[in-house]
Each structure stands twice: as C-alpha cells, then as structure tokens.
Structure 1
C-alpha cells in the first residue's frame, strides 16, 4: 500500500485538487483508495457530499465508487498507524493525506509515515517563496531524524499551469516567451526535485466537487445526449491524472 502526503505552507496551492486527481487516476486503474482530509477547510472531506448534492440535469449521475473512501485523520500517531494497518488489511492500495497549511507537528507525523511527500507549486512569483519554504521544512525534518531512519521521497508538483508555462517547461525556446520574473520562478521550481508532470489550468479542476471522480464522470457524460464535449474535457483531465499517478509510482517504486 502506498501512502502519499500532500503539504504546502499556504492555502489555495492545489493540495486538495492533487488528492482528487490521484484518487481519480487510482480508481481508473482499478485500485482501492482512501483519502484522509487533515485540512481545516475539509474540502476533500466534503467531496462526496458536494457530488451527491450537485444537480446534473440531463446527465444521469453515477453512484459514488465503492472503492473510494474519505475519512478524517485520527487524533494520535498511534491511531493513524492503526488506521493504515486496517486499510491495508481490507485491500486498500493507495492512501492520500491532505494536510492543513502551515508547518505543523501533526503534518510532520503524516509525512514521516508516508512513502512520498508532494508539494504542489503554482508557478507564479507570489507563491514561490512559500514553495521554497515547504521544501526547506522537509529538509529540516529529514535532518531531525536519526541517521539511517527511513524518510519519504519529496517531490514538487507544478500545478495550475497556463499554456505559456507548459511551453516554457517542455518546448525548446519556450522559456523566452515568459516575462523575466516568471522565467526565474519556473527555473527555480524546476531546479528542485520535481515530478516530470505539469498539471495544466482547467475549469474541470475548479469543478471537481461537482463532477466527483473523473472516470465515472467522463463515462456518464459520454452516455448522455449532448454530453460528448464535457466528457472529452473530463477525459483530458483524467489523462493528466494518470500521468500524475505514473509519476508517483515511479518515485515510490524506484
């Protein structure tokens, strides 16, 4: 069973969206998934409720997948370890933990029991300092444990990137199209240990609470009259989620 913890020192960085994308891709791959919402706004914890309340109008809404569970974290490390043991015993393949903003002791506990820590980073100057601070926080946490003790891999994930950012990161000469400040920020992010996946900006990401897990949402819209365009947009986002999960697997299984 893989355990992924998502951290950032500020809110609105894409932590919850990252958890939803990983959950969607893992479900699509036939895995059993548990999402643990340790954030104060509980957006991830309300995902199923938001989905159930959403009015889909002409599209027949699918049932919430039985293979996807969402829960709150226990209050103690011992409780969390017991929970993880229970989830593994019932066949869960992936646990994703969303955390609250800031540098908190309980977040460090989540990180230390994980296989991978993901740090979502929006490639804009205003957020670069917070991403750098999160990376330094993980470095300090690594330095605080005894030599030889297991420590999770840490990777930055570029989130919510516009077309110019994606071109700059993936196409020769694309960097020159960015303003100098954005060039500097992107280069600094890419100098860090990062996943070779960039999550593009998308309205589908903004509507994940409405759509629910991406695979069932795409299939439901594809079956509905006039739903092909929405189904295609959701499918494109699901393809990004699959790439994200493949990047996580590559790091964890290496």
Structure 2
C-alpha cells in the first residue's frame, strides 16, 4: 500500500478538494482507495454524507497514536492507496501521518503567505526523510505571480523546480467547490472539464513519482498472500511431524 498525505500550515489551501479529486482519479485508474481524515473540522466526512455513492470510504482518525497501526491494518487488508487529509497547522496527527507517508504533497496558493506557510511542513517531511512535492493550487490561469511562486518554492526546498513542483498547476475554478458541495469529485461533477483534466494529470504525475501500477500492486498482493499461505502450510506440516514423532 502507498500512503499520500496532503499537509500544509495554511488553511484554505485546498487540501480536502485535492484529496477527494485524487481519490476518485486513482479509483478510476484501477486502484482501491481509502480517504483518511485527521482534520476534526470534518470536511471529508461532511462531503461523504452528501454523497449518494459509497465507493470511497472516509475514515476519521484524529489521534496520532492510531495512524500507524491503522495504516498497517489497511495495508494487510490489501488496500492499495490511502490518501490522508490533514488539518491546517502542525499537529501530532499531521506529523505522524507525514512520518508514515510515501509522498507528502504540500499545497500552496501563489501568495507570499501560503509559500511562507510551507516551511514547517517541509521541515517535518525532511526530518523524517519522506518524499515531498509542492502543488500550486487555486492559481490564476496565467500570470507572473505563478512563476514567482514556483521559483520561491524551489528556492525554499533548495532543489530544481522540476524536482519539487507537481504538474500540472491546479487553476482556480468553481468546479472544485461546486463538486464538494454536491458530494461529488470534480471528475464526476464535470467529467469533461478542464479541472478534471488537471486532477487526472496530477494523479498521473503522482503515479510516475511513486512508480505506481494498479496491476503490479495487485500482483504483489497476490504473491504476498501466497507466501503467507505457504508459510502457514509449512508451519502446519511441521506441527504434524512433531505430533507423529511423539
């Protein structure tokens, strides 16, 4: 199982809408997905209550000590992908989620306040040596502000822009908020829209970054289960031999 965490200090950066959009994009790409909510504000839980479809489960986990054991159980159950939506600020739960992530996505709007707010999240990801990437979210369609923000993020991470900035940039459109209010993902609300195209492209960027393949993950899970069955059978045989010898 792979775990993706969306985290940043600044509120209103669009973590929840990105988490929902990516969850549906991953499911449509053939992955089994669970949304995990560590934000007591409950944006994901409220979204699920407005939803008529139960194909994506939202699981609230608010205590830091519960995150690692639950992720372990989900991995053992055969789940392929967990996407964790965190609260604004830096809490014990957010730190725990980042610590056990395979990729920490740090959303930021193209503003000075948002970019400055990424510092603490970046520090946690680096402290635990977790892969990370910035997502420029709610951007205007074009303009110098986007380039300035992207360059500032690269300078902050002390890495080349191509190494830290997820593609594509996510443009600010009403589709994201309208779909959230309807209990839908943007790919369900406007399946042929530009916002949907951007979210699906962002998911493909993540797939490449993590070298994901739904088919390969399924094969790995089958082989792991087979290894477990062989190990159990070997233990039974050993017990039988011991019994007969006695």
TM over 0.5: yes
Give the alignment partner of residue 130 of structure 1, picking from 117, 122, 137. 117
Residue 162 of structure 1 deviates from its aligned partner by 1.0
Distance in 2, matches of 1:73 and 1:211, equals 21
Give the alignment partner of residue 205 of structure 1, picking from 155, 172, 176. 176
Give the alignment partner of residue 163 of structure 1, picking from 130, 138, 141. 141
- Bigger radius of gyration: 2
Instruction: Mark the CA change 1:206 to 1:50 in structure 2 (over 3 Å): closer, same or farther.
Output: same
Bigger relative contact order (CA 8 A; separation at least 6): 1
Partner of 1:170: none
CA RMSD of aligned residues (A): 2.3
Partner of 1:169: none
Q: Segments of 4+ in structure 1 off by > 6 A? A: none
Residue 232 of structure 1 deviates from its aligned partner by 2.9
Give the alignment partner of residue 194 of structure 1, picking from 154, 165, 169. 165
Partner of 2:205: 247
The superposition leaves residues 164-206 of structure 1 with CA deviations (integer Å, 9 ceiling, x where unpaired) of 14xxxxxxxxxxxx36xx6533321244422132111111111
How many residues align? The count is 204
TM-score by length of 2: 0.74
Whichever structure has more helix as a proportion of its residues is: 2
Instruction: Mark the CA change 1:27 to 1:123 in structure 2 (over 3 Å): closer, same or farther.
Output: same
Residue 91 of structure 1 deviates from its aligned partner by 2.9
Structure 1: runs of 5 or more not aligned: 53-63, 143-150, 166-177, 219-229
Instruction: Mark the CA change 1:20 to 1:110 in structure 2 (over 3 Å): closer, same or farther.
Output: same
Distance in 1, matches of 2:63 and 2:124, equals 22
Distance in 2, matches of 1:6 and 1:116, equals 9
Instruction: Mark the CA change 1:81 to 1:125 in structure 2 (over 3 Å): closer, same or farther.
Output: closer
